[in-house]
Amino acid sequence: MSQAVRIVSIKEGWVFHKVVTEWRSMICLLALSLGLGLGGAERAAAFGLDDVTVRAQALLKQPYQTPVSNLGPDFRAMQFGDYIKIQPNREEFYWKDLDSPFRLAFYHQGMHFSTPVALNEIVDGKVSSIPYEMKRFDFGGLKLNEEEVKQLGYAGFRIMFPINRADVHDEVMSLLGASYFRVIGKDQVYGLSGRGLAIDSGLPQPEEFPEFREFWIERPKRGEKHMVVYALMDSPRATGAFKLTLAPDQELGAVLDVESRVFLRENVEKLGIAPLTSMFLFGPNQPLKTGNFRPAIHDSNGLAIHTGEDEWIWRPLNNPDEVTVNTYQVENPKGFGLLQRGHAFHQYEDLIDRYDIRPSAWIEPKGEWGPGQVELIEIPTADETNDNIVSFWTPRKQPKPGEMMKHDYRVTWTMDEPGLLPGELAWVKQTRRTDTEIRQNNLIRAFDGTLSLLIDFEGPVLEKLPPGAAVEAVFSASGNGEIIGHELLKHPPIKGWRLILKVKVKDQAEAVNLRAALRSEGKVLSETWSYQIVGHHHAVR
């Protein structure tokens, strides 16, 4: 496994993708189109992924059609503050009379959600459309033209499940905007998002956002605690069929199994398979320079990778001055994801946005995906309303237009991040960055002009080490950095170890890549900490 890094300047035409992190299930404030259905007629045979795949292949033979907005003036001019007043009417949840723990609720068109998405229901293998009904919504006192409202439709939908209390149906999955989806489990609130496909992310030219144009939702049978949703994706250069199987109440958290069948209309520069989108503003590894009562603001604080060679990597996230792209060459990845390590309230101190209970998303490929790389894109942001972190796997060899790409994987949405790792490995609990202090002869501390990175490792494997066990740190720095000192200390409060690296950066405008791990008597004890000190350029705002 090798790592490469490059820094890409933001040029004119860069699409800066803004996502509002509202707990009310808002996925994005993104100019997008959601469009025309390709069928709601009843079918005699059982409906499945093959049927959606046939539709995706049929789209390849047609010129791409940009969806046309059907919004009237009230909804077209609507501001975000008014749009979020339109909430589902809890008395009119779809399936409210079914003997099932699941319910459906819907998103209304409005604002940037300018075209309707077609929704269908599958009952006993047969398909029928889900009609738009005003009664499904509480319009929050908004003064709207009723005739205009009746001409509109659904922008997306939510899946409800009694995840926290047996008598309350809470939202556990949201599908709204482009090919975005978010999932939460017990005692969680929405944070990062998944996507069906990413095209040309992190490049100087505009990114393409494929869209879920139509959904087919299987009505759960009595006693079932999972739900199946099929989705048809379309965009100027790709089409696709997806099967999403949601199991919201699992041991580690909520689980979403994804089966994707994607086709390219034409070649693209970069494909992103199983993309995740998140936000990192600041944290202990990159403290905020101005005052803020919160110690950290982020939906995720690191990228984790389980390589095909069985190495585990932890890469803390940055909020850089320029768009930064890191690539990790990984053949047949066993897993990767954007994680929110650390769920103690004191790490965030935010009673409104509750970053402490936002989940991680861990992706486990099914089958062999072949040669490729896990990519991490970090985009500068001045506030938490921007989703500035993107990660995905991209194949080394791009398929020819019309060839089917098949990628199946499981996404676990969890707050039990240690449960993802094998028991014989310690993990990085936190990374802290500071100017290096030295103790002078008069015991007063002073700074010596270098940086220090404090990496705390914890886990049962460290707790169980016999007294006096020889533990050593293995570390390295790229050419622009020099490790001029290190210290490895026992860390009794966490029953682990703290590694302190003293780093001299040669050119402050260039990045430094660092790696470190613990071992004992030749045996690897921990995952590999992989960190980047970003270069200091003029920040993009």
Residue 180 banded pLDDT, cuts 50, 70, 90? very high
Question: How large is the average pLDDT for residues 275-301?
Answer: 94
Question: Which is it for the CA torsion 122, 124, 125, 128, positive or negative?
Answer: negative
Q: Which of 225-234, 341-350, 436-445, 460-469 has the lowest mean pLDDT?
A: 436-445
- Provide the pLDDT for residue 26: 38
In which band, very low, low, confident or very high, does the pLDDT at 468 lie, cut at 50, 70 and 90?
Answer: confident
Give the type of residue at 4: A
Looking at residues 344-371, what average pLDDT do you find? Answer: 97
Q: CA 70 to CA 403: how far, in whole Å?
A: 34
Q: Of the given ranges (311-320, 344-353, 430-439, 494-503), which has the lowest mean pLDDT? A: 430-439
At residue 400, the pLDDT reads 94
Write down the pTM of the prediction.
Answer: 0.89
End-to-end CA, the chain: 34
Query: Which residues neighbour 495 within 8 Å (Cβ) at sequence distance 6 or greater?
Result: 458, 462, 463
Does the pLDDT value for residue 459 go beyond 60?
A: yes
Query: Is 16 a residue whose pLDDT tops 80?
Result: no
Phi, psi of 367 (to 5 degrees): 80, -175
Inform me whether the pLDDT recorded for 120 exceeds 90.
Answer: yes
C-alpha distances out from residue 191 to 28, 195, 301, 346, 357, Å: 12, 13, 12, 18, 9
- Check which CATH number belongs to the domain holding 496 and give it: 2.60.40.10
One-letter identity of residue 236: P
What total of structural domains would you count in the chain?
2
In a domain, 540, yes or no: no
Backbone angles phi, psi at 130, to 5 degrees: -95, 110
Tell me the pLDDT band of 7, cut-offs 50, 70 and 90.
very low
- Give me 229's structure tokens: 């949703």
Band (51; pLDDT cuts 50, 70, 90): very high
Q: What value does the mean pLDDT take over residues 421-435? A: 95
User: Is residue 539 in a domain?
Assistant: no
End position of a domain, from candidates 395, 420, 445: 420
Q: Is there a single domain that holds both residue 259 and residue 407?
A: yes
Going by C-alpha positions, the residue among 399, 115, 336, 374 that lies closest to residue 234 is: 115
- pLDDT range class, residue 1, cuts 50, 70, 90: low
Residue 149 reports pLDDT greater than 80: yes
Mean pLDDT calculated for residue range 255-283: 97
538 found inside a domain: no
If one compares 340 and 522, the residue with the highest pLDDT of the two is 340
Task: Take residue 51 and report the two structure tokens written for it.
Answer: 């049927």
Q: Are residues 450 and 364 in the same domain?
A: no
Residue 381 counted as domain residue: yes
Predicted pLDDT of residue 351: 97
pLDDT in tens, 386-395: 999 999 999 9
Distance CA 399, CA 510 (A): 35
Closest CA to 241 of 12, 46, 51: 51
**Lowest-confidence pick of 24-33, 323-332, 419-428, 454-463:** 24-33
Rounded average pLDDT over 181-195: 97
* Angstrom distance (rounded) from CA 261 to CA 60: 13
In the predicted structure, residue 6 carries a pLDDT above the cut 50: no
Report residue 3's pLDDT band, with 50, 70 and 90 as the boundaries: low
Q: Is position 541 within any domain?
A: no
My answer on whether 320 and 431 are in the same domain is no
DSSP assignment of 89-155: -GGG-BTTTSSSS-EEEEEEPBTTB-SPPEEEEEETTEEEE----GGGEE-TT----HHHHHT--EE
Q: Is the pLDDT of residue 8 over 60?
A: no
Q: Tell me the per-residue pLDDT of 29-40, one tens digit each, with 9 for 90 and over.
A: 332 233 333 344
Distance between CA atoms of residues 256 and 264, nearest Å: 25
**What CA–CA distance (Å, rounded) separates 56 from 242?**
10
3-state secondary structure of 55: helix
The whole-angstrom separation of Cα 426 and Cα 494 is 12
189 shares a domain with 267: yes
DSSP 268: -
Identify whether 380 is part of a domain.
yes
Which tokens sit at 299?
């939906």
Give the closest residue to 249 by CA, choosing from 342, 334, 183, 167.
183
| CATH, residue 26 | 2.70.98.10
> What per-residue confidence (pLDDT) applies to 448?
83
Answer whether residue 406 is part of any domain: yes
Predicted pLDDT of residue 535: 77
In a shared domain, residues 136 and 33 = yes
State the DSSP code for 356: G
Q: Are residues 466 and 507 in the same domain?
A: yes
pLDDT digits (tens, 9 = 90+) for 19-28: 333 322 333 3
Distance from C-alpha of 264 to C-alpha of 249, rounded to nearest angstrom = 35
- Per-residue pLDDT, 438: 80
The pLDDT value recorded for residue 23 is 29
Angstrom CA distances, 321 to 132, 203, 324, 379, 533, stand at 45, 16, 8, 8, 11
508 DSSP 8-state letter: T
pLDDT at 234 over 70: yes
pLDDT at 447: 78
Provide the pLDDT confidence category of residue 514 given band limits of 50, 70 and 90: very high
Count other Cβ atoms within 10 Å, centred on residue 540. 16
pLDDT value at position 20? 32
Please indicate, yes or no, whether residues 363 and 437 belong to a single structural domain of this protein.
Answer: no
Give the separation between CA 343 and CA 358, rounded to whole angstroms. Answer: 8
Domain boundary among 389, 420, 451: 420
Confidence grade of residue 145 (pLDDT, cut at 50, 70, 90): confident
Both tokens assigned to 356: 């402490």
Give the domain range for residue 66.
Answer: 3-420
Domain-terminating residue out of 392, 420, 448: 420
> How high is the pLDDT of residue 46?
87
Q: Look at residue 74 and give its three-state secondary structure.
A: helix
- Do 469 and 402 belong to one domain? no
* pLDDT above 70 coverage of the chain, percent: 91
Task: Tell me: pLDDT of 13 over 60.
Answer: no
Alpha helices by DSSP H, listed for 211-332, are none
**Complete DSSP assignment for 369-435:** --SEEEEEEE---SSTTB--EEEEEEESSPPPTTPEEEEEEEEEEES-GGGGS-TT-BEEEEEEEEE
User: Is a pLDDT exceeding 60 seen at residue 75?
Assistant: yes
Q: Look at residue 53 and give its three-state secondary structure.
A: helix
57 and 112 belong to one structural domain:
yes
Q: Mean pLDDT over residues 268-274, rounded?
A: 96
Q: Count the residues in the chain.
A: 541
Name the residue among 420, 395, 462, 394 with its Cα closest to residue 313.
Answer: 420
Q: What is the mean pLDDT of residues 458-483?
A: 95
Q: Within this chain, do residues 363 and 466 fall inside the same structural domain, yes or no?
A: no
What residues contact 130, with CB distance under 8 A and at least 6 apart? 94, 104, 119, 120, 121, 154, 217
Looking at the fold, whether 327 and 353 belong to one and the same domain comes out as yes
CA distance 27 to 87: 14
Q: How far apart are CA 348 and CA 279, in angstroms?
A: 14
Tell me 52's DSSP state: H
Domain identity same for 175 and 135: yes
pLDDT for the residue numbered 397: 92
Say which DSSP state 526 is in.
B
